[in-house]
């Protein structure tokens, strides 16, 4: 599995899919901060959340959808690798790519906001720690959510349709903000507060169910799939 995982990381580094998603996050994130970064902090944060999740859904369609379209996933299986090994290597690579996308999205939002508007208050070590902790917690929650686009692509095996269905699914998730913590507050606006007071720890078990179900269902589908 290690060699297969290394091969996936090589494709990730040299492929266009991740670069395309990062470029989209940069451009739309810049516009988001420019349009909403002054007195619409709530909308800025919510739009940034949408940008990050949709960029991950786009990557899932481009990266995994092309695997089925170009039949490279078939070659991985016929080369003697078990289907579970192939699935896990692709899921881990997908998670790494999504971490990069989501972290870059947070960097764009916070970085451009500070560049345009300043910190607004003295910067302290505890404030920086709060921003980092809050952003990392948000990325963790988002990583659970973006397991859904992975499952959708494994089910549909198509780039375009998978992206559309994934965006619709994410839209439904955004409507359930209290459960999935997608209505997060802009961290710079609350960086003097206690981090624990802003983390929805009561919903962490519910959010962890998503990747478990997604990867389990994906594995069951992939084991029985007729890959041509």
Residue pLDDT, tens place only, 6-17: 888 888 898 899
What is the DSSP code string of 147-188? HHHHHHHHHH--HHHHHHHHHHHHHHHHTTHHHHT-SPPPGG
- For residue 131, what are its two tokens? 């921003």
Cβ atoms of 148 and 169 closer than 8 Å = yes
Predicted TM-score (pTM) of this structure: 0.87
For 11, the 3-state DSSP assignment is helix
Span 119-143, average pLDDT: 78
Residue 155 makes CB contacts below 8 A (sequence gap 6+) with 218, 221
pLDDT tens-digit profile of 196-219?
666 666 667 777 888 888 888 888
Question: Mean pLDDT over all residues of the chain?
Answer: 82
Angle among Cα 197, 206, 105 to the nearest 5 degrees reads 65
Q: Given this model, what pLDDT does residue 37 score?
A: 66
The Cα–Cα gap between 87 and 76 comes to 10
The Cα–Cα gap between 17 and 72 comes to 15
Where in the chain are the domains? 2-224
Give the pLDDT band of residue 138 (cuts 50, 70, 90).
Answer: confident
Cβ atoms of 155 and 213 closer than 8 Å = no
Give the pLDDT band of residue 23 (cuts 50, 70, 90).
Answer: very high
Q: Given this model, what pLDDT does residue 185 score?
A: 65
The Cα–Cα gap between 199 and 138 comes to 9
pLDDT tens-digit profile of 33-86?
888 766 677 778 788 888 999 999 999 999 988 888 877 777 777 777 788 888
- For residue 163, what are its two tokens? 């992206």
Q: Given this model, what pLDDT does residue 187 score?
A: 63
Span 80-95, average pLDDT: 88
Q: What is the DSSP letter of 193?
A: S
Among 82-96, 132-146, 166-180, 196-210, the minimum mean pLDDT is found in: 196-210
Q: What is the DSSP letter of 120?
A: S
């Amino acid at each position: 599995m290690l060699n297969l995982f290394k091969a996936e990381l090589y494709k990730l580094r040299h492929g266009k899919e991740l670069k395309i998603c990062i470029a989209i996050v940069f451009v739309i994130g810049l516009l988001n901060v420019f349009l909403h970064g002054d007195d619409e902090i709530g909308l800025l944060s919510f739009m940034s959340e949408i940008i990050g999740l949709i960029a991950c859904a786009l990557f899932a369609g481009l990266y995994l959808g092309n695997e089925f379209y170009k039949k490279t996933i078939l070659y991985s299986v016929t080369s003697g690798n078990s289907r579970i090994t192939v699935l896990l290597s692709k899921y881990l690579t997908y998670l790494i790519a999504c971490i990069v996308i989501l972290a870059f999205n947070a960097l764009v939002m916070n970085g451009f906001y500070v560049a345009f508007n300043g910190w607004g208050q003295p910067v302290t070590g505890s404030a920086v720690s709060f921003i980092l902790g809050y952003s990392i917690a948000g990325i963790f929650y988002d990583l659970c959510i973006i397991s859904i686009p992975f499952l959708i692509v494994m089910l549909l095996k198509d780039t375009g349709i998978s992206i559309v269905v994934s965006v619709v699914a994410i839209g439904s998730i955004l409507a359930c903000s209290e459960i999935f913590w997608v209505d997060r507050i802009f961290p710079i606006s609350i960086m003097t507060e206690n981090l624990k007071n802003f983390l929805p720890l009561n919903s962490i078990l519910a959010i962890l169910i998503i990747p478990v179900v997604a990867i389990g269902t994906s594995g069951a589908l992939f084991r029985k799939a007729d890959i041509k």
